[in-house]
Chain A
């Protein structure tokens, strides 16, 4: 027995060959996706490590000597009409924007996997009811739905996340559900039942790992949409409340000065565009890398 335990770590290693390396190899083949990953990493680094570049206090501090100033030394992105440093506002505002995007994506994904796999696995009446409710939700344009939710609950970060999550959930549920139904027809599913595997184990061991690829791809694509949605809700004043910075609301505030001080729009707009774009590129790469047909 002692010998077995001693061998255990060595044995454990060979129990599963890594798929990660293979995925990375295929992901790397698509240069644009690597570019997307690099762009997003830079944005994420700048936003998370914002204190390295600029102090937090600068976000709300007005520099009265520089009102509506174009980019100068000390204010690399220029300033807004109240003399606030745009560089600091873009970096710290990004924390809000990306947080809303990422958190709502993870929540929508979680809801999608749970509801979708339950519906796909059990089918029947439960499936019918859930699907019809989601159909109703889906028939309302996502932005209008999010708008209604924020309008009803009031504009705060949590409500914004909730709104975006709810508006994105139906698409995720449908996707997971159809993937589960596809898998449920496979023989390995029957093999699992033949030895008396419990339902949760079937779902988490046999179903979720086999549809997670599709889900990740879909989610990385939807992520771009969610960042844009967060920005557009803030743009119409229903998201993060001023003076707290957020890319969408910054864009909105800069509208009046579009012709006189275009940099006020350009920088937050550029960051929104780049992060959405980079996520789309990453999604494309993941689709190729996780497609089993391109493997082996």
Chain B
């Protein structure tokens, strides 16, 4: 696993790679650094979990990789090839390989289209099937794959519950046989028992089809099972990246530690234990000062934290952190 992330030793080509990817938005008060110098590699068939609180730029990162948002700077490599300079036509072709599953199963489905029309739409647009009958066969097949009963084919999204709607979203994303899927908080709008169903479905699909996922979420406990490695983002920057088990066993960045500590644990014996909570709230990523953006909330902060630019420090075992405490 470790050689996959370590930039110097990788032999195989990662399916998705970003190099110094940046996305800045112009706002009235200055430049909003939504994605700031993100370097990741995702090997085929693996899952990277992207964790952070609202406004940390995780959704922007996912959309920038898919070029639904144009990057300000940097490269996005698909199978070793930079897709940023691609024209509209080339990009449309490329999009078949890269799909997005949306967070909100309510607003991401056109309310005027039936379940089977929704699933068929991507195939019709991309003309992947020769005849209509072939499209409908594929639709039936996809509905079975994601566990939607045949009787829902003619139903409209508003007649279905959140879990089933999310299954439509998944079937639609799978319809073009993509290799890479960005899952943008696919379960955060669902009930716990349904969340587990959808997470299991996504893992099964990965096993069957060798899919590569980027799994975006604000909930660390959700990514634990599904991810091979996890990246923690704070205000547009990657603060820690490590293999999933390693991150939970040994979180080194104070922000990651705070995130883990903040999850309420379903165990009554823990209730009287004082949990340490970080103070304050997210500051804005508009015209940020150099150095660590978490420093203003960090209890270990020293003047050194806000000097100079951040670098990812290699801690071994594929574990990287930007915290200056771990600088060698």
| Chain A interfacial positions (CB closer than 8 Å to B) | 1, 4-5, 7-8, 11, 13-17, 19, 186-188, 190-198, 201, 205-206, 209-210, 292, 295-296
A186 to B102 alpha-carbon distance, docked (Å): 11
**Contact present for A4 and B137 (CB under 8 Å):** yes
Give the CA-CA distance A295 to B227 in the complex, in Å: 40
Q: Return chain A residues, CB-CB under 8 Å to B137.
A: 4
**6 further interface pairs, Cβ-Cβ under 8 Å (given A191-B172, A194-B99, A296-B158):** A15-B117, A15-B153, A194-B66, A197-B125, A198-B125, A205-B113
Q: Does B286 belong to the interface (CB within 8 Å)?
A: no
Q: Give the chain A neighbours of B126 by CB distance below 8 A.
A: 195-196
Chain A residue numbers with a CB within 8 Å of B176 are 195
CB <8 Å contact, A15 and B102 = no
A188 partner, pick from B103, B110, B122, B153, beta carbons under 8 A: B110
Task: Report B33 CB to chain A, min CB distance, Å.
Answer: 22
Chain A residue contacts of B136, Cβ below 8 A? 8, 11, 15
Chain B, residues 88-115, CB within 8 Å of chain A (1/0): the string is 0001110110011011100111111110
Q: Which of A188, A194, A198, A205 contacts B95 (CB 8 A)?
A: A194
User: B111 contacts A292, CB within 8 Å?
Assistant: yes
Contact A195–B95 (Cβ < 8 Å): yes
- Cross-interface CB contact of A15 among B95, B108, B116, cutoff 8 Å: B116
B-side contacts of A292, CB under 8 Å: 111, 158
Chain A residues near B209 (CB-CB < 8 A): none
Separation of A296 and B132 alpha carbons in the complex (Å): 30
Question: With A and B bound together, what is the CA distance between A19 and B133 in angstroms?
Answer: 24
The residue in chain B whose Cβ has the minimal distance to the Cβ of A189 is B110
Contact yes or no, A296 B159, CB < 8 A: yes
List, in ascending order, chain B residues with CB within 8 A of A195's CB. 95-96, 99, 121-122, 125-126, 176
Asked whether A15 lies within 8 Å of B154 as measured between CB atoms, the reply is yes
Q: How far is the CA of A291 from the CA of B103 in the complex (A)?
A: 25
Q: Which of A5, A194, A206 sits near B100, CB closer than 8 Å?
A: A194
Residues in chain A near residue B122, CB distance under 8 A: 195
When C-beta atoms are compared, the residue in chain B nearest to A196 turns out to be B92
Q: Contacts A4-B137, A195-B122 hold; do A209 and B112 have CB atoms under 8 A apart? A: yes
Alpha-carbon distance between A193 and B102 when the two chains are bound, in angstroms: 13
The answer to whether B153 touches A187 (Cβ under 8 A) is no
Chain A residue with minimal CB distance to B133?
A4
| B1 contacts chain A at the CB level, 8 A cutoff | no
Among B100, B114, B125, B156, the residue within 8 A (CB) of A196 is: B125
Q: Could you tell me if A5 and B133 are in contact, using CB atoms closer than 8 angstroms?
A: yes
Chain B nearest Cβ from A6, distance in angstroms:
10
- Residues from chain A with a CB closer than 8 A to the CB of B95 are 194-196
Q: Which residues of B contact A205 (CB under 8 A)?
A: 110, 113, 121
A198 vs B64: C-alpha distance when bound (angstroms): 20
**Shortest distance from the beta carbon of B113 to any chain A beta carbon, whole Å:** 8
A198 to B114, CA, bound (A): 20
Q: Which of B100, B117, B159 contacts A191 (CB 8 A)?
A: B100
B:276-317 near A, CB below 8 Å: none
**Complex CA–CA separation, A198 to B117 (angstroms):** 17
- Judge whether B68 is part of the interface by a CB distance below 8 angstroms: yes
- B117 and A190: CB pair below 8 A? no
B112 near A210: Cβ-Cβ < 8 Å: yes
- Nearest B residue to A16 via CB reads B114
A173 to chain B, nearest CB (A): 22
Q: Is B194 an interface residue (CB 8 A)?
A: no
Cβ of B155 within 8 Å of any chain A Cβ, yes or no, is yes
B154 near A17 with CB under 8 A, answer yes
Closest to A211 in B: B112
Chain B residues whose C-beta falls within 8 Å of the C-beta of A187 in the assembled complex:
102-104, 107-108
> In whole angstroms, what is the CA distance A11 to B131 when docked?
14
**Could you say which residues of chain B place their CB within 8 Å of the CB of A13?**
154
CB–CB A206/B111 < 8 A: no
Inter-chain CA distance A196–B109, complex, in Å, is 16
Contacts of B121 in A (CB 8 A): 192, 195, 197, 205
10 contacts between A and B (CB under 8 A): A15-B117, A17-B154, A188-B108, A195-B122, A195-B125, A195-B126, A196-B91, A196-B125, A197-B121, A295-B158
The complex places the Cα of A7 from the Cα of B110 at a distance, in Å, of: 27
Chain B, residue nearest A1 (CB): B133
Q: Is the CB of B117 within 8 A of A16?
A: yes
For the complex, what is the distance from the CA of A17 to the CA of B109, rounded to whole Å? Answer: 16
Closest residue on chain A to residue B98 by CB atoms = A194
* Contact (Cβ within 8 A) B114 A210: no
Measured between beta carbons, the chain A residues less than 8 angstroms from B153 are 14-15
Which of B96, B112, B121, B154 is most buried by chain A, counting CB atoms within 10 A of its CB? Answer: B112
State A15–B119 Cα separation when bound (angstroms).
11
State which of A1, A5, A19, A186 has its C-beta within 8 Å of the C-beta of B107: A186
Given that A15-B114, A194-B68, A296-B159 are known contacts, is A188 also in contact with B99, CB under 8 Å in the complex? no
Cα distance A197–B110 in the bound complex, in angstroms:
14
Task: Kindly list the 8 A-B residue pairs having the minimum CB-CB distance in the complex, ordered from nearest.
Answer: A196-B92, A187-B108, A209-B112, A4-B133, A17-B154, A16-B114, A195-B122, A14-B154
Contact A193 B68 (CB under 8 A): yes
